[in-house]
Amino acid sequence: MTKPPIGGNRTGRKLGQKVKKGKLKASSRRWLERHINDPYVQRAKLEGYRARAAFKLLEIDEKHQILKGAERILDLGAAPGSWSQIAAKVTDSSDEDIRVVGIDFLDVDPMPGVTFLKLDFLDPTAPDKLMEALGGTPDLVLSDMAAPTTGHQRTDHLRTMHLCEVAAHFAVDVLAEGGHFLAKTFQGGTERELLTMLKQNFRQVLHIKPASSRAESVEMFLLAKGFKGRKAAVSGAEEGEE
């Protein structure tokens, strides 16, 4: 069972540490203090995960069982790799039998059982390269993608929502029947057309805010469970054309 850190962090490090002013800007210092005092960050280090984001996936899976029975998984926006770590474990992926493929425009350190593609997911060649590397049909498509920030809140919001939409259409194109799609989104930001499309193609669609997602963050996760299959996708597309 995935539980939030309680009464400390089990690492021996004290919470509430301050960062010396030095040459850091006040905003940078506050971010660093929040980061080093975050019990999920410390727990990730203790348990060997590359990032605190691992607990978001674990918490969602604990309730919704999206990892159960998955044989092949795609991880979009994989860096630094904590979701791929979990995916490799649940699929028994190995270098001899790759069952997990991740993609990111950032460098990702190598990981046993995972193929990482250094490529922008919006690159037209990305879908084919992902499927070729995976060597089979995925049961789960994960997306923790977020667009690089510009500092303009509305622009940043729209760019990340676009990534979510493209990932969703990709999932419908490649998932095995009964598979699931999980993607980062923002509170109040999921477009009606996207939700309609997902509801046409999946048996259940819901928004989730895991406990390990920082309270002040506007991020949420969009989960579409139980892909109905390609026939439903084609039927839904034809209805939309009328």
pLDDT in tens, 198-234: 999 999 999 999 887 766 677 889 999 999 998 755 5
Mean pLDDT of the chain: 83
Does residue 12 belong to any structural domain of this protein? no
Highest mean pLDDT among 16-25, 27-36, 120-129: 120-129
Question: What is the extent of the structural domain holding 118?
Answer: 53-241
Least confident of 47-56, 70-79, 219-228: 47-56
pLDDT at 14: 47
CATH of the domain at 88: 3.40.50.150
15 or 206: whose pLDDT is higher? 206
Does residue 145 belong to any structural domain of this protein? yes
The pTM of this model reads 0.80
Q: What is the DSSP string of 3-69?
A: ----SS-SSSPPSS-----TT--HHHHHHHHHHHT-HHHHHHHHHT-SSTHHHHHHHHHHHH--STT
Active-site residue (options: 23, 63, 129, 184): 184
Does residue 5 belong to any structural domain of this protein? no
230 or 124: whose pLDDT is higher? 124
63 classed as catalytic: no
Report cis status (omega within 30 of 0) of the bond before 80: yes
Does residue 57 belong to any structural domain of this protein? yes
Domain total of the chain: 1
Does residue 199 belong to any structural domain of this protein? yes
Does residue 18 belong to any structural domain of this protein? no
Burial label for 82, CB within 10 Å (0-12, 13-18, 19+), is buried
pLDDT at 173: 97
SS3 content of the chain, % helix, strand, coil (to 5): 40, 20, 45
pLDDT at 33: 44
